[in-house]
Amino acid sequence: MKPAAPLLAGLALLSALAVADRAAHAEEQRGGPVVGSLPGGFENVVDDRLRVLERAAEPEKAQQVRIERRVVIRISPSRATSARLMAELPRRSMRTRFQEADHADCLPLDQLMSVQPMGDNRLLLITQDRHLLSAALDRSCSAQAFYAGFYVERSEDGRLCVNRDELQSRAGDTCRISNLSRLVAVRD
Q: pLDDT for 120-140, tens place per residue? A: 889 988 888 888 899 999 888
Q: Is the pLDDT of residue 76 over 80?
A: no
The predicted pLDDT at position 34 comes to 47
Q: Is the pLDDT of residue 92 over 80?
A: no
Distance of CA 49 to the CA centre of its chain: 41
Please check whether residues 122 and 35 belong to one and the same domain. no
- Using a 10 angstrom Cβ sphere, with 0-12 exposed, 13-18 middle and 19 or more buried, the burial of residue 130 is exposed
Per-residue pLDDT band for 94 (boundaries 50, 70, 90) equals low
Structural domains of the chain, count: 2
The predicted pLDDT at position 161 comes to 92
Please check whether residues 168 and 83 belong to one and the same domain. yes
The predicted pLDDT at position 162 comes to 92
Please check whether residues 32 and 117 belong to one and the same domain. no
Cα distances (angstroms) measured from residue 65 to each of 59, 61, 62, 147: 16, 11, 7, 40
Question: Do residues 17 and 42 lie in contact, with contact meaning Cβ atoms separated by under 8 Å?
Answer: yes
Please check whether residues 102 and 159 belong to one and the same domain. yes
Task: Give the chain's length.
Answer: 188
Domain that holds residue 24: 4-57
Question: Do residues 116 and 146 lie in contact, with contact meaning Cβ atoms separated by under 8 Å?
Answer: no
